[in-house]
Amino acid sequence: MRQGRNHLSDLRGVGRLALDATRGVVDLVEAMHHTVVRAPAILGVPIEGRTRGITSLVYRSVRAVATLVGTGIDVALGELARVVGEGPAPREAEAVVAALNGVLGDYLLATANPLAIQMRLRRGGRPLELEREALRTALPRASRKMVLLIHGSSMNDLQWNRQGHDHGAALERDHGYVAVYVHYNSGLHISDNGASLAALLESALSQWPGPLEEIAILGHSMGGLVARSALHTGTSLGLRWPGLVRKLVFLGTPHHGARLEQSGSWVDFALDLSPYSAPFARLGKIRSAGVTDLR
């Protein structure tokens, strides 16, 4: 299992992200420079390529310096992280990391950034080890009924509360469930998260400390779509846990697509109409696969 995050690994992730952002800005500026020098018509196909001569040397130098500085910081923090060890991140940091994963989660995973969230079942912000005795210790009041809470895009499992009311705790108290929370990278494709959740729940079922007879799922926003995807995958593969699902509740789930993301795709299309605005379309297109799936 991959090691958990700590403050230093988060700093490493932020450093890598800052380096990538610097390179991206340099690429955007160079693309604009290249377009202006070529002076194409207002409407037309964007001109691909980079600048030449001394100008090209300047851009290459900026990229090289940024890479050198970023690599040095990453190595230093990596060594320090080994000495300090692992520790839970505060709620504020968890919220920031969740938001970053919502927008750039697929990129963070592809670049092996420490900020990328690994899907886990959690309780109280701590991962549940899917082994029978470990679950018995972590869930001393484990009942025959589980309620699975799946958060929405750019959120995390610590945000299932409002004005002091914790939804999971209330369902445990009033209806006899044991609450288990899903923590996942909402920037990945919904189908990928659905497949991961289906496998994770099958593992949890095989190690549950006692007979599990009922699963209820509460999905907020994107979490509802992830739940549907997991059920589809689990049923298709003949897994056992879908047969235990008795209730599936959606809170603000965009079953027919999110209007904001649909509007965003039209903005991207409009920016691409002119070679002068086309470089800025890159900014809109950094949206994660999870966000574009909402279209």
Contact 37, 51 (CB under 8 A): yes
Tokens of 163: 């004005």
One-letter amino acid for residue 99 of the chain: A
User: Quick one: pLDDT band at residue 130, thresholds 50, 70, 90?
Assistant: very high
Highest mean pLDDT among 47-56, 59-68, 246-255: 246-255
pLDDT value for 185 = 95
Least confident of 56-65, 156-165, 217-226, 282-291: 56-65
- At 107, is the pLDDT very low, low, confident or very high (cuts 50, 70, 90)? confident
Name the residue among 280, 279, 285, 225 with its Cα closest to residue 255. Answer: 225
pTM: 0.72
Q: Whole-number mean pLDDT of the chain?
A: 77
Instruction: Report residue 228's pLDDT band, with 50, 70 and 90 as the boundaries.
Output: very high
Classify residue 182 by its DSSP letter: E
Dist. CA 160–CA 181, nearest whole Å = 9
243-263 pLDDT, tens per residue?
A: 999 999 999 999 987 665 555
pLDDT confidence of residue 179: 96
**Could you tell me what percent of the chain has a pLDDT over 70?**
60
Cα distance between residue 56 and residue 58, in whole Å: 5
120-251 CATH pick, 3.40.710.10, 3.40.50.920, 3.10.129.10, 3.40.50.1820:
3.40.50.1820
**235 vs 5, more confident:** 235
Residue 131 CA to residue 207 CA, distance in Å, equals 5
Q: Which stretch, 66-80, 202-216, 244-258, has highest mean pLDDT?
A: 202-216
Given pLDDT bands bounded at 50, 70 and 90, which one contains residue 270?
low
Q: 């920037």: which residue's tokens?
A: 187
pLDDT of residue 216: 98
**Domain ranges in the chain?**
7-87, 120-251
Round to whole Å and give the CA distance between 114 and 112.
6
